[in-house]
Structures are given as C-alpha cells and as structure tokens.
C-alpha cells in the first residue's frame, strides 16, 4: 500500500489531536494587580464583574468589555445602556453587602472611596476578589485606569488605541486653553443627595479639572469638599460658579439654583457665569477626559468658543 505525504501529515495531525485531547486543560496564570494598599489581588475570573463607580463602567464599555460586566453601581450613567441593561445595587460610597453579593460577582472593581469600610470587609469575608484602585484625579490616572482594565479584560490592544485617543484629545484641549485671555476665579458647588451643599478645594477632582481648563481656585491649596453656608459663598465672590447637572436637579432646577441665597449674590450670578456639566464627564477622569477639559475650558473662557 502506498501512503502519500499528504496522508502521512493527516495521520500525524490526527495522532497529535488525539494525544492533546487526553491531556488536562491547564488554566492560565491568574493576573496579579496591585490595589490601593499595595496588596496584590489575584484575578482569575472576569466573567461577571461588578463595577463600583461610573468611571470603571465607562472604561469597560470603551474597551469593548461590556459583556464582562454583570452589575454596576448607581453612578454608572455613561454609556446610558449600562444602567438600562445591567442590575445596579446603589451608590458605591454607601453600599450594602447583600445586593452586591446577590449578583454573584466573580470580581468587584472599585476605588478607595468605596464603602462604608465594614461593607467592604463583609464582601472580602465572602471570598469575592475585590480590587480597589487609587482615586487619583489627573490625566495619568485616566491612562493608568485604561491600562489596568485593559489587562484585566484581555483588551490590551484596545487599551493602547484608547490611550492614544485620550492623549490626542488632551493635546487638543491644552492647545485650546493656551489661547485663553484670562484665568477666572472658579467656585465648584456640589449638591449631594440628602446632604448639605459642598464646595471643592483645589485638591479634588473638580479642582484638577478647573486647573486643566485654565481656571484659578477660590480655595487654593485646600483638599476635598466641605459644607459652605450662603454667607461663605457670597464672601468667596467667584467670577464663575461651576456645578453639576445632578446638583441642579437636586436643588429643583436652574431657577431654584440661581435663586439660592448664596449663589444669587455673587459676581458669577450677576454676570451670568454659572455653568454646569455632567457629573461623570466632568469628574470621572476616564477615556473622555480630554474632551471634558476642552468643553470646560470653553465654559470658563467664552472667548475660546468656536
């Protein structure tokens, strides 16, 4: 019997396939990611991830990893389909363990503001891997987040493309800001649900965005957010008041916001320089950061408008 070379190759391939089928399937090595406390978290299963924070949800979708997301928190406004399609379990700063665990997450991703701490501990005690990342507020933080989630979801190539687009957007925003003719004093006001009105210092997400967009701060060098009385807002005398769309809603709309006794008696209100942006877009430091800087720059510097 004659066996032709092509037949020999086929027989050899069949033998290899049979041998391979008899071998155990070896799992890939877990991915080790360092969390905010410097602890390495072993990530093995990303089939049903819970994202605690809108920026994590937004970045996962931008990477094309939305099928990995099983549930989101209530701040995941972008893209809109995230809250429409995925279960949500409340706001990431004020969680309860039971609704999160009810989703059976294979991994939880949040930041250092995720809480309260006792709930985070309950989730850890339930043996669910939790990756809490730093809550940094700058362009590099956006790059780092894209890189990290790209590695977690196996989307490294997509992460490179996304970072390239981010850097191009940031460069365009910097060029725009360089043309500003003034540096207005800006007061950022935030109205959280069921809490006193807050204002931000320079060292905060809102403060970083104001700097990047060419504004100066009413409270330079101050960290975080503090309650502020109407008298305090008036005495700050900001040239521009910046707020969020959700804050406007919580105070009953634009008319109610502008009639607030502190806001109404400021140079910003007198000169019609009270502006608002989407909360996540303004302060998320995700893939859209460069475009958000440019849009804020135009709000702070009307002379830059096309």
Q: Decide: helix, strand or coil at residue 286.
A: coil
31-135 shares its CATH topology with 181-304: yes
Residue 243 CA to residue 266 CA, distance in Å, equals: 14
* CB distance 132 to 38 below 8 Å: no
For the entire predicted model, the pTM comes to 0.87
Q: Decide: helix, strand or coil at residue 268.
A: helix
* CB distance 282 to 244 below 8 Å: yes
Q: What is the pLDDT of residue 271?
A: 97
Distances (CA, A) of 160 to 151, 213, 272, 287: 11, 25, 41, 12
Phi, psi of 274, rounded to the nearest 5 degrees = -110, 120
Residue 159 CA to residue 151 CA, distance in Å, equals: 8
Assigned CATH for 181-304: 3.40.50.1980
Q: Which residues contact 264 (CB under 8 A, 6 or more apart)?
A: 258
Q: What is the pLDDT of residue 194?
A: 79
Q: Which residues contact 67 (CB under 8 A, 6 or more apart)?
A: none
* H-only helix segments in 199-241: 205-212, 230-236
Report the candidate in 85, 285, 131 with the shortest Cα–Cα distance to residue 204.
285
Residue 188 CA to residue 210 CA, distance in Å, equals: 9
pLDDT in tens, the chain (306 residues): 333 333 333 333 343 333 333 333 333 678 999 999 999 999 999 999 999 999 999 999 999 999 999 999 999 999 999 999 999 999 999 999 999 999 999 999 999 999 999 999 999 999 999 999 999 999 999 999 999 999 999 999 999 999 999 999 999 999 999 999 999 999 999 998 878 899 999 999 999 999 999 999 999 989 999 999 999 999 999 999 999 999 999 999 999 999 999 999 999 999 999 999 999 999 999 999 999 999 999 999 999 998
Both tokens assigned to 296:
């804020």
Q: What is the pLDDT of residue 28?
A: 61
Report the candidate in 158, 135, 197, 174 with the shortest Cα–Cα distance to residue 293.
174
CATH topology of domain 31-135: Rossmann fold (3.40.50)
Q: What is the pLDDT of residue 282?
A: 98
The residue extents of the domains of the chain are 31-135, 181-304
Residue 50 CA to residue 67 CA, distance in Å, equals: 12
The H or E element that residue 164 is part of is helix 156-177
């Amino acid at each position: 019997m004659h066996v032709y070379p092509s037949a020999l190759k086929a027989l050899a391939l069949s033998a290899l396939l049979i041998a391979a089928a008899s071998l155990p399937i070896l799992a890939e090595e877990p991915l080790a990611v360092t969390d905010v406390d410097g602890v390495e978290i072993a990530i093995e299963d990303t089939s049903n991830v819970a994202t605690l924070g809108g920026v994590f949800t937004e970045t996962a979708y931008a990477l094309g990893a939305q099928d990995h997301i099983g549930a989101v928190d209530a701040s995941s406004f972008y893209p809109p389909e995230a809250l429409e399609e995925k279960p949500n379990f409340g706001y990431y700063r004020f969680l309860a363990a039971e609704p999160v665990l009810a989703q059976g997450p294979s991994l939880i991703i949040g930041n250092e503001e995720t809480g309260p701490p006792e709930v985070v501990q309950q989730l850890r005690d339930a043996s669910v891997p939790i990756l809490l990342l730093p809550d940094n507020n700058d362009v590099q933080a956006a790059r780092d987040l894209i890189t990290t989630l790209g590695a977690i979801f196996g989307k490294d190539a997509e992460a490179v493309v996304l970072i390239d687009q981010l850097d191009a957007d940031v460069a365009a925003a910097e060029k725009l800001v360089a043309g500003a003719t003034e540096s207005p004093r800006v007061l950022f006001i935030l109205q959280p649900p069921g809490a006193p009105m807050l204002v931000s210092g320079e060292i905060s997400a809102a403060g970083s965005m104001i700097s990047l967009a060419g504004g100066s701060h009413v409270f330079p060098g101050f960290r975080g957010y503090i309650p502020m009385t109407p008298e305090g807002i008036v005495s700050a005398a900001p040239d521009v008041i910046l707020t969020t769309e959700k804050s406007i809603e919580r105070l009953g709309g634009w008319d109610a916001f502008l009639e607030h006794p502190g806001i109404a008696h400021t140079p910003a209100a007198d000169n019609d320089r009270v502006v608002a942006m989407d909360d996540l877009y303004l302060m998320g430091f995700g893939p859209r950061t460069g475009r958000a800087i440019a849009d804020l720059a135009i709000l702070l510097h009307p002379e830059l408008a096309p």
